[in-house]
């Protein structure tokens, strides 16, 4: 999917605002993946017998999903303002870290938390790579 998104970004008449399209596509793909994986993890946590112990995890999942959704959409408009992009990607990175840290506590017991932490860490990395290039 990342290559397909990158191909799309390359068709933009105004280019990509001086940002490397591969890094941008990586971050968009990671954001939308993280959004749906977090949404699924919240639903899976809710189905667990020990849901009481997973409340904080569900909340961080939902916060992370909402922030990733907005970030993916803003980045998909490569003409967006760089100052806004930088600030939003930083918030997204931080939301991913917070979600990953909580999911990692439960990863040994719940496979969905392990998978979700992996998605969050991937999104964190693509955010950092994009921030370094802005």
Return d(Cα 8, Cα 11) in angstroms, integer: 5
What tokens appear for 58 in the block?
Answer: 């569900």
- Please give the residue ranges that form the binding site for its own copies (CB under 8 A): 1, 4-5, 7-9, 11-14, 28-29, 32-33, 35-37, 39-44, 46-48, 51-52, 55, 58-60, 62-63, 65-67, 69-70, 72-74, 76-81, 83-84, 87-88, 90-91, 94-95, 98, 110-112, 115-116, 119
Least Å from the CB of residue 132 to its own copies: 19
Measured from the CB atom, is 79 or 133 closer to its own copies? 79
Least Å from the CB of residue 86 to its own copies: 10
Q: Which of 117, 93, 95 is nearest to 105 (CA)?
A: 117
Return d(Cα 75, Cα 16) in angstroms, integer: 10
CA distances, 100 to each of 20, 51, 80, 107, 110 (Å): 26, 18, 28, 10, 13
Measured from the CB atom, is 23 or 29 closer to its own copies? 29
Least Å from the CB of residue 71 to its own copies: 8
CA distances, 27 to each of 14, 35, 45, 82, 126 (Å): 20, 12, 26, 15, 5
Least Å from the CB of residue 133 to its own copies: 19
What tokens appear for 67 in the block?
Answer: 């922030």
Measured from the CB atom, is 107 or 129 closer to its own copies? 107
Measured from the CB atom, is 56 or 133 closer to its own copies? 56
Residue entry with tokens 């490569």: 78
């Amino acid at each position: 999917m990342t290559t397909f998104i990158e191909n799309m970004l390359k068709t933009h008449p105004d280019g990509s605002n001086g940002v490397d399209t591969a890094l941008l596509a990586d971050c968009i793909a990671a954001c939308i993946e993280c959004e749906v994986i977090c949404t699924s993890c919240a639903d899976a946590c809710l189905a667990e017998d020990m849901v009481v112990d997973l409340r904080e995890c569900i909340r961080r999942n939902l916060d992370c999903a909402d922030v990733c959704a907005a970030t993916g959409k803003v980045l998909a408009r490569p003409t967006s303002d760089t100052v806004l992009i930088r600030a939003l990607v930083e918030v997204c990175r931080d939301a991913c870290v917070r979600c990953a840290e909580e999911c990692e506590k439960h990863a040994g017991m719940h496979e969905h938390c392990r998978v979700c932490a992996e998605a969050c860490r991937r999104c964190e990395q693509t955010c950092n790579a994009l921030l370094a290039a802005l």
